[in-house]
Structure 1
Amino acid sequence: MSQKLVLVLNGPNLNLLGQREPGIYGSATLDDIGAALTERGEALGVTVESRQSNHEGALVDWLHEAQSRGAQAVILNAGAYTHTSVALLDAIRAIDVPVIEVHLSNPHAREAFRHTSWIAPAAKGTIAGFGADSYLLALEAAARL
């Protein structure tokens, strides 16, 4: 039996983690988070593939790919697209793969425009506010789906 696949998709500016506003987002880099996810995935019997793009269309394409590859789940940190992207909402609704929305910070404790998520209505669940551990918590949930 092959291992379950979990795709981890990261949106705009997340390539700058560790240097961009560390007081909000922490000091862990995206590579640090990816390595921790891979290690935890091995323990859970899950193959983790992590990707990042600053381009909305790439994220849409990768969501479609999750469906065609039979992914167990997608962990999605859409970054600022969380608050603006109907295209990502539609892509999530178009696939049968559960999507777990992740945020390093707690959007509800920040600026008012961050309180609305276009991802949440289609997501299986949302994990926010636990820094890099938000991803690990999402992976634990994804492995149980």
Structure 2
Amino acid sequence: MASTIFVLNGPNLNALGKREPGIYGGKTLADIEAMCKAEAKLLGFDIDFRQSNHEGTLVDWLHEAGEKSVGIAINPAAYGHTSIAMHDAIRAITVPVVELHLSNIHAREEFRHKSMIAPAVKGVICGFGAQSYILALHALKNLTEKSK
């Protein structure tokens, strides 16, 4: 059985494909999930792909993923800019965590420039649209191989 990577998605990502496609692209979250599963298979991973609009649920999933996975890719969406709880949850996890965003958060509104969770993760990928997820999977593959 392959090792599992959790791909966690924050608020409003369930509206991808409809919500501001000029910023976030036209792919739905289901499209991105299919892309991730196909790429993960090539990399030798299984994917546990989840989305919630609730911060506490995401924190619970981070704790679960820390116990059940070899790595975590997280698109925290707006919670990345505000969530100390997610920052603290990530600090308690020993598996590598990669933060990702569809848009380039540094080219957007000032309040999006700072990520509260970035100091707790191994790296941040942003600005490549749906491809940000694929890049995060490759980063996790590299990180998990280095830890062996």
Q: TM-score, normalised by structure 2?
A: 0.95
What does residue range 69-88 of structure 1 map to in structure 2 within 5 Å? 69=68, 71-88=69-86
Measure, in 2, the Cα distance between the counterparts of 1:68 and 1:9.
Answer: 15
Q: Map Cα deviations across residues 39-79 of structure 1 (whole Å, 9 max, x no partner).
A: 1111111101110000000100001001221x111000001
Distance 1:58 1:12 in 2: 11
* Residue number in structure 2 paired with 1:27: 26
In structure 2, the partner of 1:126 is 124
Give the distance between the partners of 2:22 and 2:66, measured in 1 at CA: 36
CA distance in 2, matches of 1:68, 1:130: 29
Segments of structure 1 that go 5 or more residues without pairing to the other structure are none
Give the SS at the match of 2:36: helix
Q: Distance in 2 between matches of 1:67 and 1:44?
A: 20
CA RMSD, 1 decimal: 0.7
1:116 corresponds in structure 2 to 114
Shift, 1:29, TM fit? 0.4
Question: What does residue 66 of structure 1 align with?
Answer: 65
SS where residue 100 of structure 1 aligns?
strand
Offset at residue 81 of structure 1 (A): 0.3
Q: Matched residue pairs, number? A: 143
**1:2-26 Cα shifts (integer Å, max 9, x gaps):** 3121000000000000000000000
- Structure 1 runs of 4+ aligned residues shifted over 2 Å read none
Mapped to 1, the partners of 2:131 and 2:12 lie a distance apart of 19
In 1, distance between residues paired with 2:66 and 2:127?
A: 28
Question: Which digits, 9 at most, give the CA deviation of each residue in 1:107-141, with x for residues without a partner?
Answer: 00000000110010001000000000000010111
CA distance in 2, matches of 1:73, 1:99: 6
1:9 aligned partner: 8
Residue 97 of structure 1: how far off its partner (Å)? 1.5
Give the SS at the match of 1:67: helix
Structure 2 letter corresponding to 1:35: A
Q: Distance in 1 between matches of 2:42 and 2:108?
A: 34
TM-score (norm 1): 0.97
AA of the residue aligned to 2:109 = E
Question: 2: CA distance between counterparts of 1:141 and 1:117?
Answer: 19
